[in-house]
Amino acid sequence: MKYNKIDNKKEKKKNLIMDAAEKLFIQKGYQNTTMTEIAKKSKLAKGTLYLYFSSKKDLYFTSVERALRTLKELIDEGINNCKNGFEKVVSMGKTYVNFSINYENYYRLILDYETQETKFDESDPNVKKAYEKSEEIFNLLVSSVTEGKNDGSIDKNLDTTKISIVLWAEITGLVQQVSLRRDLYKKWTALNPGQIFDYYIEVTQRMLSAQKSY
């Protein structure tokens, strides 16, 4: 009991630090964020950070992990209420889009991490851990497509792996573009992110649905 309370307290402080760190990592990137800034933003002393995280890297990866875990939880939640594979696939896309809007900081941190991924040392256990989290999500997509082809909600002629890759790439690409280039797109068009996503989903659902036969 007592340990739990302590752990809980510790966990809360860790979250506090990550909340501060996250914002800076997003804004300025991993390299340009200093421990001094993180300490200042979290209103703690520099040394204190090292009581909760062993290094700057640890702090970064733990933050990324928290974000990925949250995304995974939301996706799982969304899928639970779906009655067939097609709906699951659509739900995953919608959840991802909503995540990027409602948990903007988490989303941007994941993005920062993924685009930098190759620059981190692959053998680092933290890197591997985050890698696996991404894989879990992709596997969920593959199994949903399979389920859909089996229950007849997704066109049987589609290649499971191919379409999964394409779909995941499309959705992540789209969300990233909209997120990174929000200001640019605002300049080019009056559309807000939601409208662009809706349009994409509308166009893509038709491509995917079993009623049409490609």
Q: Which residues bind a second copy (CB under 8 A)?
A: 27-29, 31-32, 111, 114-119, 131, 134-135, 138, 159, 161-163, 165-166, 168-174, 176-178, 180, 184-185, 188-189, 191, 195-196, 199-200, 203, 206-207, 214
Nearest residue to 66 via CA among 14, 26, 125, 116: 14
DSSP state for residue 209 in the 8-state scheme:
B
Residue 10, binding choice from a second copy, DNA, none, Cβ under 5 to 8 Å by partner class = DNA
User: Residue 202: in which H helix or E strand, if any?
Assistant: helix 193-208
For DNA, the binding residues (CB under 7 A) are 6, 9-10, 13, 32-36, 44-48, 50-52, 54-57
User: How far apart, in whole angstroms, are the C-alpha atoms of residue 90 and residue 86?
Assistant: 6
* CB nearer DNA, residue 11 or residue 159: 11
Is 46:35 a contact under the CB 8 Å cutoff? yes
* CB nearer a second copy, residue 77 or residue 189: 189
DSSP string across 147-188: HHHHHTSB-TTS-HHHHHHHHHHHHHHHHHHHHHTHHHHHHH
* CB nearer a second copy, residue 33 or residue 91: 33
Smallest distance, Å, CB 150 to DNA?
49
* CB nearer DNA, residue 10 or residue 182: 10
Question: For the stretch 113-129, what's the b/e string if a residue is b when 16 or more beta carbons lie within 10 angstroms of its beta carbon?
Answer: bbeeeeebeeeeebbee
Residue 51, binding choice from a second copy, DNA, none, Cβ under 5 to 8 Å by partner class = DNA
Residue 177, binding choice from a second copy, DNA, none, Cβ under 5 to 8 Å by partner class = a second copy
Is 210:155 a contact under the CB 8 Å cutoff? yes
Smallest distance, Å, CB 18 to DNA?
14
